[in-house]
Amino acid sequence: MRCLKIAAMAAVTAAGMVAQPADSVAQSRPQELAANTRVIIDYIDPRMQRSEATLDRLRKRQVLEDLSLFLSPLRLPRVLRVRTKSCGAVNAFYVPGEWAINLCYEYYENLEAIAPQGTSPQGYTRDEVVVGGFIDAIFHELGHALFDILNIPVFGREEDAADQLSAFLMLQFGKDVARTTIRGAAFTYLASKNPRTRTEFADEHGAPAQRFFNYICLAYGGEPDAFREYVDRGVLPKARAEQCPREYALVRRAFAKTIYPHIDVELMKKVQSVQWLRPTDGRK
Amino acid sequence: MSFIARLALALTLIAPLWAASLHAQPTFSPNKGGTAPAPAPETGSPGGGGVFRPSGTEVTPPPAPPPTTTTTAPAAAPGLDWGNSQVDVVYAEPKDPQFLPIRERLMRRQVLEQLRLFLSPLRLPRKLLVQLDQCNAERRPYQPGGPVTICYEYIAKIEQIAPRNQPAGGLPRETMIVGAFVQAVLHEVAVATFDILDIPVWGRETDAADKLAGFIMVQFGKDVALKIMIGAAWYFDASERTWNESDFASEQSPEAQRFFNYLCIAFGSDPASFKFLIDQNLLPIRRAQRCTGEFYALRAAFLRTLMPHVDQQLLKRVQSATWLMLDEPK
């Protein structure tokens, strides 16, 4: 669904629908932006042979280059490092001592492993899971990085705060991007096991099911039309759904007060007009 | 050994104070019912957790207690006003007579008047009404612009869950009642404060309110922290229910998470005093390792967002009062 729409939009743009006002047509060339010079990217050679293909794919897709362009509006007081590498575990993590986001090849490979071949019984597509899941990992760790680098007060659970930033970013690029990325991110939490014993609740992360509902709730609060089906199908209970506009408003307020002051607004508008996702994303 | 048995054992080992009877009612109390002025809380805690700790040793004795009556206590009782408070309080009359004794008891103890005093350092740009009311539910969530409501139903539930028979070596039920009540009140006030002061809240609002409440609860010395943090955690432990798939859709966190969050705040605020939580395997080491960092982040958030709205003179006065009676005779 997402692919068809995006493919259609790309075709329209490529065909040069010049009659459209410039700002209503998504541009397809992030090259018009300049990389953020305070973001240093690095594709580190994998230790495992099987990750060579992953590296190759990420490098060809220019995932980190795109991220640096995406972050161009951000005025960072420190240099942020973002690297892909072998970790020996399915993980993605921010290292405060290095101001560095680490994205593990294993994390991407695991997304490919858990993604449905075509469409899952609940209707999630392979592309949503691989693309949305990986973008979520990047944005979530970006959240930890920004909270640290920009010295942002975080009252709630920081893991949830990072999820909120991720979901909020996903919701700033129109309905199609929102659906692909939010649904993909949400699926990864559907696929995880929930805590049962008391000790399992001691984790600093929320339970996967809580995180699933947090994403869907923010999405419904921010883009009600694109996510109403979750309420209609009874996946998102009414009692929670009623709170979602307020939850979204709280996140927007937090973003406005703590991150927006560090953003170049003109550049941000450019970033929002770029068509970041491609129809082939998530495919081998 | 059950959680509470291990806890009780740990506490009797580390804090002889706990062997003394703890007969406080669920109340804040700035004074000790006509006895000599309370000693100032010890300055500084081993863990260095308290931002509230006054640097000097100046002690401002709390005002003399007003005469205790069993009739209606008006919101602003004379002698119970340190000025500046934007907080009004009301004990709404419940329709259901079963809640009348709870109302009567809390009025007699002037619980809300003391909360009002306690909150006087907080500079709010508008009046905030804090009320006890019958809600026909355990909670009535705060709505922007509205009052803070503590439901008689919730207080009744705490009193119902608190065990009536204190096992040998166990904790008295008042520990749970006081801790859970203080936690509930500060949680609801925290939600209202976020709204009124337009504080940026990253993370789920209910968790943020739990953490702000917990942060305040550990600012009044080791003894108070031990009592109310353990009491609140014990309540979450005792009221724990099984969470199934759709339960996780709640904007509230499972009781088990809130239990560990409170232990984590306590440990993070003062690792030396709360080390027994690890020794007794109550707080898993994997989480405990993060608690100092979590507390540091919480304190930083408080200092950046709330401290600018706190009157420092009144804060010193609040800190030098004794708010919970740890050893009041029956």
CA distance B291 to B59: 32
Section A258-263 average pLDDT: 98
Residues of B in contact with A214 (CB under 8 A): 204
Q: Which residues 114-153 of B have a C-beta within 8 angstroms of A? A: none
Candidate from A16-30, A255-269, B199-213, B300-314 with smallest mean pLDDT:
A16-30
Return the residue in A146, A155, A247, A253 with the most chain B beta carbons within 10 A, the one to mutate for interface testing.
A155
CB-based contact, B290 to chain A, within 8 Å: yes
pLDDT-above-90 percentage for chain B: 60
Query: At what angle are helices A208-222 and A244-258 packed, to 10 degrees?
Result: 80
pLDDT of B68: 39
| Residue A29: other Cβ atoms inside 10 A | 9
Section A92-110 average pLDDT: 98
Q: How far is A253 from chain B (nearest CA, A)?
A: 6
Among A81-95, A269-283, B115-129, B222-236, top mean pLDDT goes to A81-95
Candidate from A25-39, A221-235, B199-213 with smallest mean pLDDT:
A25-39
Residue-averaged pLDDT of chain B: 80
Closest-CA residue of B relative to A248 is: B204
Nearest to B106 by CA among B179, B172, B176, B155: B155
- The pLDDT of residue A227 is above 60: yes
The three-state DSSP-derived secondary structure of chain A is: CHHHHHHHHHHHHHCCCCCCCHHHCCECCHHHCCCCCCEEEEECCCCCHHHHHHHHHHHHCCHHHHHHHHCCCECCCCCEEEEEECCCCCCEEEEHHHCEEEEEHHHHHHHHHHCCCCECCCCCEHHHHHHHHHHHHHHHHHHHHHHHHCCCCCCCCHHHHHHHHHHHHHCCCHHHHHHHHHHHHHHHHHCCCCCCCCHHHHCCCCCHHHHHHHHHHHHHHHCHHHHHHHHHCCCCCHHHHCCHHHHHHHHHHHHHHHCHHHECHHHHHHHHHECCCCCCCCCC
Nearest to B54 by CA among B229, B268, B220: B220
Rg, C-alpha atoms of chain B: 19
Among A14-28, A217-231, B168-182, B315-329, top mean pLDDT goes to A217-231
Q: How far is A281 from chain B (nearest CA, A)?
A: 30
pLDDT of A129: 97
pLDDT of B57: 35
Query: What number is the ipTM of this complex?
Result: 0.87
Query: At what angle are helices B173-196 and B205-217 packed, to 10 degrees?
Result: 120
Stronger pLDDT, B168 or B14, i.e. the higher one? B168
Among the partner residues B201, B257, B259, nearest to A250 by beta-carbon distance: B201
Candidate from A141-145, A155-159, A195-199 with smallest mean pLDDT:
A195-199
Section B169-192 average pLDDT: 93
- The pLDDT of residue B268 is above 70: yes
Section A62-87 average pLDDT: 97
Closest-CA residue of A relative to B301 is: A153
| pLDDT interval class at B80 (50, 70, 90) | low
Residue-averaged pLDDT of chain A: 90
CA–chain centroid gap for A58, Å, is 16
Burial B167-190 (b: 16+ CB within 10 A, else e): eeebbbbbbbbbbbbbbbbbbbbb
CB-based contact, B198 to chain A, within 8 Å: yes
CB-based contact, B208 to chain A, within 8 Å: yes
- The pLDDT of residue A15 is above 50: no
Q: Where are the domains of chain A?
A: 31-114, 119-193+206-262
Contact state of B201 with A254 under an 8 Å Cβ cutoff: yes
pLDDT of B54: 38
- The pLDDT of residue B182 is above 60: yes
CA distance B215 to B151: 23
CA distance B46 to B269: 9
CB-based contact, B308 to chain A, within 8 Å: no
Contact present, A32 and A270 (Cβ < 8 Å):
yes
CB-based contact, B294 to chain A, within 8 Å: yes
Contact state of B200 with A253 under an 8 Å Cβ cutoff: yes
Contact state of A154 with B203 under an 8 Å Cβ cutoff: yes
pLDDT of B7: 65
- The pLDDT of residue B24 is above 90: no
Candidate from A35-39, A256-260, B176-180, B218-222 with smallest mean pLDDT:
B218-222
- DSSP secondary structure letters along B252-317: SPPHHHHHHHHHHHHHHH-TTTTTHHHHTTSS-HHHHHHHHHHHHHHHHHHHHHTGGGB-HHHHHH
Q: How far is A213 from chain B (nearest CA, A)?
A: 5
Rounded to 5°, the CA angle B257-B271-B301 comes to: 65
Q: How many CB pairs under 8 A join A and B?
A: 113
pLDDT-above-90 percentage for chain A: 82
Closest-CA residue of A relative to B282 is: A199
| pLDDT interval class at B9 (50, 70, 90) | low
Contact state of A247 with B198 under an 8 Å Cβ cutoff: no
Stronger pLDDT, A108 or B65, i.e. the higher one? A108
Q: How far is B265 from chain A (nearest CA, A)?
A: 12
pLDDT of A51: 97
CA distance A150 to A147: 6
The H-assigned helical ranges of B15-132 are 100-108, 111-118
pLDDT-above-70 percentage for chain B: 73
- The pLDDT of residue B126 is above 70: yes
Contact present, B252 and A157 (Cβ < 8 Å):
no
Q: Where are the domains of chain B?
A: 3-31+42-320
Give the three-state DSSP class for B125. Answer: coil
Stronger pLDDT, A31 or B148, i.e. the higher one? B148
pLDDT of B308: 97
pLDDT of B6: 61
A→B contacts (Cβ < 8 Å), by residue, are 147, 151-158, 160-161, 164-165, 194-195, 198-199, 201-204, 206-207, 209-210, 212-214, 217, 236-237, 239-240, 243, 247, 250-251, 253-254, 257-258
| pLDDT interval class at B4 (50, 70, 90) | low
Return the residue in B1, B199, B202 with the most chain A beta carbons within 10 A, the one to mutate for interface testing.
B202
Contact state of B203 with A164 under an 8 Å Cβ cutoff: yes
Section A188-215 average pLDDT: 91
